[in-house]
Chains A and B, each alone.
Chain A
Amino acid sequence: MNSLSKQKKNLAEKISKQFLTFRIGNEHYGLELSQTREIIEYSGITEVPLMPSFLRGVINLRGEVVPVIDLAVRLGRKSIEVQRRTCIIVVELTNNDQHHVLGLLADAVSEVIEMDDENIEDAPSFGANIRAEFIQGIAKQGEEFVVLLDANNALSIRELAHLVEAELQ
């Protein structure tokens, strides 16, 4: 980091963000807390026919029908197997003034961490095995790395809709 941008950072005081961290397989991920709404127990997913494998189905979230995404598949991993600690993280994204609510399947939710911008490293240009635009940065927590996801890109409604369309063709 050059001195100028460091100065800027200092001027803006410490910008810290809160992240909800969770586990998929044995990898740790984080989502900005401001984008997450709640965490619910895995139950009662209704399958939707002919959907690609990242789309596990829909759930009834207090009267609202919400699609559930298998984040593992979306990130290019093996599909999540439902176990005792499997849960659905409900996220709310704002895109072009439109609100979207999505459920994300995760193996387990860990904790909420607070991170200063300084402690967040840029995503490596390769080696993470995840599309670079899905990653906002990497945070180091003790000995572990937490991949901070860019929800707007990783869960772009437009892209998801295109994938569904492609599957149906």
Chain B
Amino acid sequence: MNFDSALQTFFAEAEELLVSMESALLRMDEGETTPDIINEVFRAAHTIKGSAGLFGLDDIVAFTHKVENVLDLARDEKISISSDLLSVLLPCRDHIAHLVDNALQENANDAECIAKGDALINALSPWLGAPPKPAAPAQAVLSSNMDKAVASERDLWHISVRLGPDLLRNGMDPVSIIRFLGTMGTITHIATLTDNLPELAEFDPEQLYLGFEITLESSATQSEIENAFMFVRDDSDIQIIPPRSNISAYIDLIKSLPENTHRLGEILVKSHVITYQDLEQALATQKAQAVAQVQIPLLGQILIDDQDVSPELVNAALDKQKKNQERRAGPENRFIRVDAERLDKLINLIGELVVNRQRVDLLASKLGNTNLTEAITSMGNFTEQIRDAALTLRMVPMAETFQKFKRVVRDTAKELGKEIELDIEGAETELDRSMVEKLNDPLMHIVRNAMDHGIEPVAVRQSRNKPSAGTISLKARHDAGNIVIDISDDGGGLDLERIRKKAIANGVIEEGVHLSRHELYQLIFHPGLSTAEKVTNISGRGVGMDVVKRNITELQGAIEIDSEVGVGTQFTIRLPLTLAIIDGFHVGAGNIDFIVPQNTILECVDLGSLNHVQGQSCVNLRGEQIPYIRLQKLFSLKAVDESREKLVVVQFGDKRAGIVVDVLHGEIQTVVKPMGPIFQALKGIGGSSLLGTGAVALILDVQQLIGFAINKEHSRTGSLVPGAQE
């Protein structure tokens, strides 16, 4: 592994750890101070420190070490987690993030940064005043008595290291690795194996002949320990046995190593991982049973058979062991980091596969060979599954995004001197990662605005008979193929009169013009129309709601506002699931192929069979009035015989409308291809897609299309399409 990519891994990992550290600290701030959470924070700091040490990032090590010391005391319950402590730990986390960032940018830490670090360490000192944690006993005691083993909380790892002979030549030093292991815990025993040392005459001073048997007391995870060997793993033989493993694991280890079995056994016994009796007995039992060709029993079983301990106790111990192992195999092992570009490439290729499958389908149906058709159908099923699986790779839950707001709300509330709670719902709702990134800024802006201008100061809230703490809620949900995110607050609400006055003063609207409530709300998206009366630290710094609106529009989304004075304000952001591949319905109008996203379609009916509402583009569908648009007319397409017109009934949000087309071709899986910047102004078409024939079809953006039709009608007749109005 080359150094640069290892360093990149460190930065990526540090970033993740800092996120989990922050979220754990915030959970503590909410009163959840279980040992698990304290451990989580500790582990994060500890791992960052360890990895930073490996790369010689001394500033990070020095600072994080102090933080870690405090966390260690908390872990040992020498100090308690208080709100005061958290108020120092949170900025400490930020400072670590800052240091990591500086390292990433290869910036030197300037005086201001150093002073900040010193100040934070000073702030931590009251907690560090507590007596330091007593050193771990030099020797661990672990008897064969299982109940003692259960009682022991010590995590004794056994690490067997046979380093590659060329290690020294490659510029690596085994001592530094062992030293690094030491930062993860306490090395309680280390034996150096010199079996490979040659006669002096043959001795090559540049070659490494040594092996090590190490016992490490540490709460680190297996992967953390493995990371210590990151740079030497390829040429070396590293075996790591987790704490409280079955004795058979040790026996297997002994067998797998080249050295004398007896000596290795001695080393293990000396390192107090197992006792001599354990070893003798287990080896003997195993030998005997191996002769009898019975499956190698677990140590626990042997002990029960020997009636040393009760089965319950062993079960409890095994259970604990299993849990420990599960914890160790935790999230960090279940994820791998993938370059986003590679992922996009995969998804694009799968998109091509999907399109090509359609083409094969088309050809096969012409041939009429049943076997071929069947084979293609089953291939189609797999293609679909591959497509779905690939798409989920890009989906991330909103939780990650929402999580950030906990901190923002906490800090901003403090800064503003307000009491604000954050309520999160639907954090599990998944969204395309590329959208999540672009959604961050608009959400941040709205939330900050809500805190600054929306939520009233405590005194005002009390005078209005509201709870003194305001609430901001973030809710995400799926709705008819869209993602909907609601950001609401129970603050003062938007003052329509003030918006109107400001808009008139800024020349956005003219005096005397009548605007509906919603139209007035939409005015706050107008550039330069900040409704803030004073510019504060939090908002009103030039970037306004117009930027929010623009960001959302760029995501092909829409934003709506609802508000009631004295009750609160709600922003609703509606986003498409802009995924690379969608299920569509292929239709034809004029001489153009169109695709209507399947998830917007309610049904398709013959337009001729419906009762029309007199004089309007509106039909009566089982008692419901459905306004419709003719694609052919709206897009000025070539005319086709009207008697064959079909009505595609679509739904978006809570609105229904019809789209009149000439032909229904059927369902199709389709890859969304962007239309490019030239077509940016084109309304109602969200992208393009390739048909099985190789021809290009245009994908309708139903919501935009209806909006476009309404605008067109509006500008022509001054009235809205019935039923589709706000």
Q: Which residues of A contact B (CB under 8 A)?
A: 44, 46-51, 55, 57-60, 63-65, 67, 100, 157-158, 160-161, 164-165, 168
Contacts and interface: CB of A to CB of B under 8 A. Distances in A.
Interface stretch (B334-342, B396-404, B694-702): B694-702
B635 A49 contact: yes
Given A46-B688, A46-B697, A168-B682, 7 more contacts: A46-B698, A48-B685, A65-B688, A65-B690, A157-B677, A160-B678, A164-B680
A90 to B, nearest CB: 14
Contact of B696 (A55, A59, A165): A59
Given A60-B690, A161-B681, A100 B591 contact: no
B636 interface: yes
B592 interface: yes
Contact of A65 (B635, B637, B675): B675
Given A58-B688, A165-B681, A168-B683, A46 B695 contact: yes
Nearest to B693: A44
B678 A55 contact: yes
B682 A157 contact: no
A165 B696 CA distance: 22
B581 to A, nearest CB: 13
B682 A67 contact: no
A55 B678 CA distance: 10
A49 B636 contact: yes
B678 A50 contact: no
A46 B593 contact: yes
Contacts of A158: 677
Interface in B625-646: 634-637
B466 to A, nearest CB: 47
A50 B682 contact: yes
Interface residues of B, number: 29
B352 interface: yes
Across the A-B interface, give the 6 residue pairs with the lowest CB-CB distance, nearest first.
Answer: A49-B635, A165-B681, A46-B696, A65-B673, A65-B688, A160-B678
Contacts of B666: none
Most chain A CB within a 10 A radius of its CB, from B678, B682, B688: B678
Contacts, number: 76
A50 B636 contact: yes
A47 to B, nearest CB: 6
Nearest to A58: B696
Most chain B CB within a 10 A radius of its CB, from A51, A55, A63, A165: A63
B694 A46 contact: no
Contacts of A57: 696
19 contacts: A46-B593, A46-B688, A49-B590, A49-B636, A49-B685, A55-B678, A57-B696, A58-B688, A65-B675, A67-B676, A67-B678, A67-B679, A100-B677, A161-B677, A161-B680, A161-B681, A164-B681, A168-B681, A168-B682
A44 B694 contact: yes
Contacts of B590: 49
B695 A60 contact: yes
A60 B696 contact: yes
Contacts of A100: 676-677
A65 B592 contact: no
A64 B673 contact: yes
A165 B683 contact: no
Given A65-B675, A65-B688, A65-B696, A47 B592 contact: yes
Contact of A165 (B355, B680, B688): B680
A161 B678 contact: yes
Given A49-B635, A164-B682, A58 B675 contact: yes
Nearest to A164: B681
Contact of B682 (A44, A47, A48, A60): A48
Interface string B652-693: 000000000000000000000111111111110100101000
A63 B679 contact: no
A48 to B, nearest CB: 7
Contacts of B697: 46
Most chain B CB within a 10 A radius of its CB, from A55, A58, A165, A168: A58
Nearest to A55: B678
Contacts of B592: 46-47, 49
Contacts of A64: 673
Most chain B CB within a 10 A radius of its CB, from A60, A65, A67, A160: A65
Nearest to B356: A63
Contacts of A51: 682
B317 to A, nearest CB: 59
Most chain B CB within a 10 A radius of its CB, from A49, A60, A100, A161: A49
Contacts of B591: 47
A58 B683 CA distance: 16
A48 B695 CA distance: 13
Contacts of A50: 635-636, 682
A48 B690 contact: no
Contacts of B637: 49
Interface string B577-601: 0000000000000111100000000
Most chain A CB within a 10 A radius of its CB, from B352, B634, B698: B698
A59 B676 CA distance: 13
Contacts of A60: 690, 694-696
A50 B697 CA distance: 15
Contacts of A168: 681-683
A7 to B, nearest CB: 43
Interface string B351-375: 0100100000000000000000000
